[in-house]
Structure 1
Amino acid sequence: DAGLKKWMDNQEVCGVLRISKKTLQVYREKGLLPFTRIKNKFFYKPEDVQSMLESSYHPQKRKP
């Protein structure tokens, strides 16, 4: 199915957004990036990743 090929995995998203897997996890937890989960693997739609790039989202780094 060609539709299945459109989904991106963690590694691809981290590469495109130039973020770490930890940052990607934060995006998921905060609901910033929609995702689907199959077993222990996460998948993302390219258009959602594109939206994230296009929105001028700049997370504030907080000191723990």
Structure 2
Amino acid sequence: MLEINRVQLKEIETKLEETIKRLNKLQKNVFNSEIIDNADFIQLMKISSSTAKNWRNKGIIPYTQIENKIYYKINDIELLLDKHYRSFK
């Protein structure tokens, strides 16, 4: 049987807290950047690549394409969200 003493438990808690802080910082960094690529956009919006392509083709979201790489401005994503925001009545 594996026993964990208080010191070991405290070390685990500290490492978990540090990991959570790093993850939170990474999430905040997405919105601090000015542009993101298509993979980050898909992950951020929780959509499929075909949905992202449809939105681009329909003109729902502006984008920049350099060769095969697609980029979005964070400001444009925020505008998209604001435009489609529905508040409670």
TM-score, normalised relative to structure 1: 0.72
Distance 1:9 1:31 in 2: 17
The structure showing larger relative contact order (alpha-carbon pairs under 8 Å, at least 6 residues apart) is 1
| Gap regions ≥5 residues in structure 2 | 1-32
Aligned partner letter, 1:24: A
| Gap regions ≥5 residues in structure 1 | 58-64
Distance 2:45 2:80 in 1: 8
RMSD: 1.5
Match of 1:62?
A: none
Match of 2:25?
A: none
Match of 1:27?
A: 55
Distance 1:56 1:18 in 2: 16
How many residues get paired? 53
Write the mapping of 1:1-64 to structure 2, written as runs, cut at 5 A: 6-56=34-84
CA-CA distance at 1:55 after TM superposition: 2.4
Pick the structure with greater CA Rg: 2
